[in-house]
Structure 1
Amino acid sequence: MVPRPTLPPLTGLLVFQPLKRRYCAECRRGPLPLLALEDGAPRCLDCADLGHLVFLPSGDTALTRRSREESTLRFNRRKSRYERQGVLVEEAALARAEQRCLADAEARRRRRVRDARRRAAQDALFAQAFAAEILRLFPGCPAARARAIALHASERGSGRVGRSAAGRALGEGAVTSAVVASVRHLDTPYDRLLMSGVPRHEARRRIAAAVATVLRGWTEAGLGSTG
């Protein structure tokens, strides 16, 4: 069997999508959608001996990883920023990678489902712990309200206080901040003040006493039950 010819590694080469109209310094074709730089001069992919490659956009991690096992090079939008938008690979290599991805697509789908279930279970346990900490600090807070605050503050990917390092550690300051935010929006005219054009800091000043009253009631309710 005649061995399939292989290309030299292309990892160190860069291909750019120019932001301005650029023309090939060798064949003068253009404007070029993609170009390679040789000795500082733009070359079309044909003149750079890269015309046999096809572009694979980024986004499919498995397909990109498998395609990169063959001849690949980085594709960047702009030289000064090196934003990788995808890879250029041999067409046959891309076809083989696609076949491999199809072969194990069901296994990867099942793994994604398992991972999603695992994360959901972790999130549910954390929300329960967060709600329990709310009730420890504010025993007069209604249990349903504590659960709602915990779910809102700890939503994955939300960037809210419950997902912060302090929130994940159930720090008292983070838990209190989540409760205060809930009271501010649901138990005071804070949102109406903002919508009427009152600056945020002024709106918070105006409703500070109302927030303190609710928090004091939720705290003192627990103290009274133990007296």
Structure 2
Amino acid sequence: MPTEDGADKPKDLLVIESTRDFTCADCGTAYDRGRLLTMDDAGPLCLACADLAHLEFLARGDTALTRRARKHSTLSAVVVRWSSRRRRYERQGILAEPDAIEKAEQECLADADARERRRIREAVRRDEQDTAFVDELAAAIRAQFPACPADRATRIARHAGERSSGRIGRTAAGRALDPDAVRLAVVASVRHEDTDYDELLMGGVARFDARDRVRPAIDAVLDRWESGIIGP
């Protein structure tokens, strides 16, 4: 690939993880499979003879760490291994200067610390937003149902607005405190807490049939809460 000045970008130095025993073409040392080598016109070279023995292996898996290590290393090489199943060389990692790898690790750790601090800040902000919404929804419930006990209104609001729950409080209408959405949240709470709806479901009654059976009880509670009559 041409660079900005028009010259071709130099290719990566390749180091091969051997899949068979080999003998260095320069020093004549025999090596077992799994050792690293480079290929020269004369044949395979061990890392010492290829002047790469001072480099340290960094396994693949962390893209940011690899990128930074290569940036900080004056000399680096890509390590590959032949896959007989896929019939191709596959990247295993890189060789880079130890100081460069250490510097890259420090930078990545600093990034991880920053991400953790950001995650904590965002969690706190979400909690504050959720608390504010629960208060707003509880107030809307009390405005629509004046006789609903304050602690019950808060409990309904907290349940309806639970993050990632998919409940009415997480819908656009719920977040906008739409009266119909507020009513649905209250109805859902009354259905489960003030009627035998759950027992009917456990007894095998179909959901819609169970809802029809408990509707009068729900309406009775809602009427009391709407009219200002203190009740459950």
Instruction: Tell whether 2:152 aligns with 1:145.
Output: yes
User: 1:192 & 1:98 partners in 2: Cα distance?
Assistant: 58
User: 1:89 & 1:124 partners in 2: Cα distance?
Assistant: 48
- Per-residue CA deviations over 1:132-158 (Å, capped at 9, x if unaligned) read 000011111000000000001101111
Map of 1:170 onto structure 2: 177
Q: Which amino acid aligns with 2:178?
A: G
User: 2:214 & 2:188 partners in 1: Cα distance?
Assistant: 12
Q: Which amino acid aligns with 2:227?
A: E
Map of 2:222 onto structure 1: 215
User: 2:147 & 2:139 partners in 1: Cα distance?
Assistant: 12
Summarize the Cα distance change of 1:122–1:64 in structure 2 as closer, same or farther, 3 Å threshold. Answer: farther
What percentage of aligned pairs have identical amino acids?
53
| Among 89, 99, 109, the residue aligned to 1:102 | 109
- Per-residue CA deviations over 1:27-46 (Å, capped at 9, x if unaligned) read xxxxxxxxxxxxxxxxxxxx
User: 1:102 & 1:6 partners in 2: Cα distance?
Assistant: 30
User: Counterpart of 2:148 in 1: which secondary structure?
Assistant: coil
| Among 186, 190, 209, the residue aligned to 1:183 | 190
User: 1:205 & 1:106 partners in 2: Cα distance?
Assistant: 55
Q: How many residues align?
A: 155
Summarize the Cα distance change of 1:144–1:97 in structure 2 as closer, same or farther, 3 Å threshold. Answer: same
Map of 2:162 onto structure 1: 155
Map of 1:20 onto structure 2: none
Structure 1, gaps ≥5 residues long? 8-52, 57-62, 71-87, 223-227
Bigger strand fraction: 2
Structure 2, gaps ≥5 residues long? 1-8, 13-57, 71-90
User: 1:170 & 1:159 partners in 2: Cα distance?
Assistant: 16
State the 1:172 CA deviation: 1.0
Map of 1:194 onto structure 2: 201
State the 1:110 CA deviation: 1.6
Aligned partners of 1:141 and 1:218 also within 8 Å: yes
Aligned partners of 1:68 and 1:89 also within 8 Å: no
TM-score of the superposed pair, with normalisation by structure 1:
0.59
Map of 2:119 onto structure 1: 112
- State the superposition RMSD in angstroms: 3.2
Which structure is larger by alpha-carbon Rg, 1 or 2? 2
Summarize the Cα distance change of 1:203–1:114 in structure 2 as closer, same or farther, 3 Å threshold. Answer: same
User: Counterpart of 1:140 in 2: which secondary structure?
Assistant: coil
TM-score of the superposed pair, with normalisation by structure 2:
0.58
Q: Which amino acid aligns with 1:146?
A: A
